Amino acid sequence: MKQVQNEVRGLAGAGILEITENDSEKMQYLRAVIIETLRLHPPIPLLIPREASQDVKINGYDIAAGTMVMINAWAIGKRPRHMGPA
């Protein structure tokens, strides 16, 4: 948290009166905190159950139309390849 605060204060101290989205490229720690937060606490649309609108095959499993599908957001967030840029 201290590193993120120092990044933001560093930009503010550099004479930038308003920090914009374009400034996020300069703030690596802030970006890492945002990515980690979204990984651990995904946006609500991932957590809402869905209903398959048509027959589909996913990873060798047949999912019939009308089947209630629930996303395991916790498991997705724990997979190393989904943990954001290295």
For residue 72, the tally of other CB atoms under 10 A from its CB is 10
> Would the pTM of this model clear 0.85, i.e. be above it?
no
Alpha helices in 1-86 (DSSP H): 2-13, 28-40, 73-77
Give residue-wise pLDDT tens across range 15-74: 767 778 888 788 889 888 888 888 888 777 667 888 999 999 988 999 999 999 888 877
Give residue-wise pLDDT tens across range 3-12: 988 888 888 7
Residue in 63, 44, 61, 43 with CA at minimum distance from that of residue 53: 63
